[in-house]
Chain A
């Protein structure tokens, strides 16, 4: 039986902006299961990265967790004090950013990055850390001798991304959150990294959260997929179900909007309109201004998270007709 390793409940995160509060993550609840790959997919501004940063509590200063809980091993990460978080961060839950040049310090050799990262999280045995790094580098098909003694600028984009993955795994975390780790890479390098991640899963017990704007990547890698839009969880379910039978009109539209190498180009369509302003989000369902199936209730009242069979979750009035009628009568 799969059990949740992280449980997010009713999470609300706001950013303070010039025009008011940006509702970046708004009432999101989901479970991350032990040893699964959970794909989190959404466009820019959907709240997918904010969700990740909230789990690690490494949000920028302008952000605030307004409400909700993030349970991990009986710790509520949303409220835990810094001293507790320090024991969790990196050692138990780590983060792999998109490895643009600025993800690594240009003045440090890779070996120093690794040793310093470990030290910052309380692991001081330099030799053991380097041994572990060598092992990870082998697994990620990097030449340990060469890469450890290189500076970031001496490595290609794909190599740098693999180094950041190794950095994320250096303390044997239970969960690793990968935030767009293949976005800036060429097709072949992306394929290589996706295959490495699949391979890695087979070799070590680890839970992965894979964040991307490219839903096709989730089709390749994820066990379950969470679809986010404008700070809301729209749908969550098994990867095969999500693609074969998407329930939420947004998921349906998103899959249709991908220019892909399969299917007919005549069936591919953009989603009309544009994503909403998150300072003044539309009332009701946030997707309703772009939704072809929107009815009156969608414009007035926000749909709840509805549980369907097989752990499928969808936030759309179409799947709660009874309740929708009740609300309409009010």
Chain B
């Protein structure tokens, strides 16, 4: 038997209780509602979806920040919520997060050196002052903040957004994690610098073998990161993965009507192609509430291709229809 994957997610459900009014009944927002996933060492997976689809909740649960309502997250085959405390610390160190907002992620009263030295001290990677300076300088070089002397004693407000995000990434890799959960890491970065941050993350993967779970709403960024990293894209809708496959396959040959609709709607930097595109028209523009998601296929009430009596009754399972390409749509499965 082969080694267990780095992370495995089984039938994961995460529900958040809400109450309508003061005395109203408790209801549940089904943020993630039955997800199965495997992440292997050094692999790249992009979670792609609109706001409210559950992509961030799924990422945070994989990072151990939420406890699942049902299902499990396995780290090297072991449920992370049943690990011994020493095992749990290894897991904590192995999975790091990069958040969207580099302005909020760094303590404004600490220098870059202090920010980066803290995890090194915490994990006993470096102890003496000179060791720390050497380590931190190396990290800064790795993330392209050179010469490091120029950055060591700067405060976050003295850095640009792109530079701050590089510091955040340096902090994440400082403890040699196995997986980085990057939640919209380029959304707040200037357009011209975005690919630089994605390239940096991919470069670090080459050097350190880190796997990535990249979370984004941006189709172009999802394609770039996953295609360049030889990875997959998973499209989420209302707490479920509706389609997953190799990056270029998903972009060039999407099979789920939801993925097709989104791809047909994204503007592209070519007026001739962009204006000729015929966006697929949905039956309804509004995303249903994740409190009461539609029965059957969750997309059926908006889907222009739905089959009455099937899509609104039975939930389509995520099914491999081509090598590595899985789709949860009755039209595709039944073909």
A binding-site residues for B, Cβ under 8 Å = 43-44, 156, 158, 186-192, 194-195, 213-217, 219-220, 239-240, 243, 253-255, 257-262, 265, 268-272, 274-275
7 A-B pairs whose Cβ atoms sit less than 8 Å apart in the complex: A187-B262, A187-B265, A190-B267, A258-B191, A259-B221, A259-B224, A271-B196
- The answer to whether A262 and B267 touch across the interface, beta carbons within 8 angstroms, is no
CB within 8 Å of A: which of B259-312?
261-263, 265-275, 279, 282, 285-286
> Which residues of chain B come closer than 8 Å to A216, judged between CB atoms?
220, 266-269, 274
Q: Are A274 and B279 in contact (CB under 8 A)?
A: no
Instruction: Given A187-B50, A274-B160, decide whether A257 and B271 contact each other with a Cβ distance below 8 A.
Output: no
Report the minimum CB–CB distance from A296 to chain B (whole Å).
Answer: 24
Q: From residue 50 to 66 of chain B, which have CB atoms closer than 8 A to chain A? A: 50-51
Does A191 contact B265, Cβ atoms closer than 8 Å?
Answer: yes
Contact A158 B195 (CB under 8 A): no
Interface size on B, residues (CB 8 A): 43
Given contacts A187-B219, A259-B224, A261-B251, contact A217 B192 (CB under 8 A): no
Q: Measured between C-beta atoms, what is the minimum distance from B43 to chain A in Å?
A: 18
How far is B275's CA from A257's CA once the two chains are assembled, in angstroms?
A: 21
For the complex formed, measure the closest distance between the CB of A241 and the CB atoms of chain B, giving whole angstroms.
10
- B271 close to A259 (CB less than 8 A): no
- Whether B269 lies near A258 (C-beta < 8 A) is yes
> Are A213 and B191 in contact, CB atoms less than 8 angstroms apart?
yes
> Does B94 have its Cβ within 8 Å of any Cβ on chain A?
no
List of A residues within 8 angstroms of B265 by Cβ:
187-188, 190-191
Tell me whether B262 and A219 are in contact (CB under 8 A): no
Partner among B51, B194, B251, B267 whose Cβ is within 8 Å of the Cβ of A257: B194
- B135 at interface, CB cutoff 8 A: no
A residues within 8 A CB of B279? 191, 195
- Which of A257, A261, A270, A271 contacts B266 (CB under 8 A)? A261
> Do residues B267 and A220 form an inter-chain contact, with CB atoms below 8 A?
yes
Q: Is B141 an interface residue, CB under 8 A from the partner?
A: no
| Contact partner, A239, options B50, B262, B268, B271, Cβ 8 Å | B271
Q: Select from chain B the residue with minimum beta-carbon distance to A253.
A: B192
Identity of the chain B residue whose Cβ is nearest the Cβ of A272 in the assembled complex: B196
Of the candidates A186, A192, A213, A261, which one forms a contact with B217 in the assembled complex, judged by CB atoms under 8 Å apart?
A186
For residue A271, which residues in chain B have a CB less than 8 angstroms away from its CB?
192-193, 196
A185 CB to nearest chain B CB (Å): 9
CB-based contact A257/B219 at 8 Å: no
Q: What CA separation (Å) do A171 and B27 show in the bound complex?
A: 44
A213 to B269, CA, bound (A): 12
B50 touching A260 by the CB < 8 A rule? no
Chain A neighbourhood of B262, CB < 8 A: 187-188
> Which of A188, A195, A215 has the most B CB atoms < 10 Å from its CB?
A188
* Distance from B109 Cβ to chain A, minimum over Cβ atoms (Å): 18
Q: How far does the alpha carbon of A189 sit from the alpha carbon of B196 in the complex, in Å?
A: 28
B190 touches A220 (CB 8 A): no
Tell me how far the C-beta of B136 lies from the nearest C-beta in chain A, rounded to whole angstroms. 21
CB closest residue in chain A, given B271:
A219
Query: Is the Cβ of B50 less than 8 Å from the Cβ of A257?
Result: no
Enumerate chain B residues within 8 angstroms of A239, measured Cβ to Cβ: 271
Nearest A residue (CB) for B261: A188
A220 to B272, CA, bound (A): 9
Q: Report the minimal beta-carbon distance from B56 to chain A, rounded to whole angstroms.
A: 14
Q: A188 touching B282 by the CB < 8 A rule?
A: yes
Give the residues in chain A near B51, CB-CB below 8 Å.
Answer: 186
Question: What is the bound-complex CA distance between A189 and B284, given in angstroms?
Answer: 11
Is there an interface contact between B193 and A274, defined as CB atoms closer than 8 Å?
yes
Q: Verify if B210 is at the interface (C-beta below 8 Å from A).
A: no
B257 within 8 A of A: no
Are B190's CB and A268's CB within 8 A?
A: no
Given contacts A158-B285, A260-B220, contact A214 B267 (CB under 8 A): yes
Q: Do A261 and B223 touch (CB < 8 A)? A: yes
CA distance A187 to B275 in the complex (A): 16
Most buried by B among A43, A259, A272: A259
How near does chain A come to B168, taking the closest CB pair, in angstroms? 16
Which residue of A has the minimal Cβ distance to B188?
A44
Contact B162 A274 (CB under 8 A): yes
B203-219 interface code vs A (CB 8 A; 1 in, 0 out): 00000000000000111
Measured CB to CB, the closest approach of chain A to B51, in angstroms, equals 6
- Does B96 make an interface contact (CB < 8 A)? no
Q: When the two chains form the complex, which single residue of B198, B251, B269 contacts A255, counting CB atoms closer than 8 Å?
A: B269
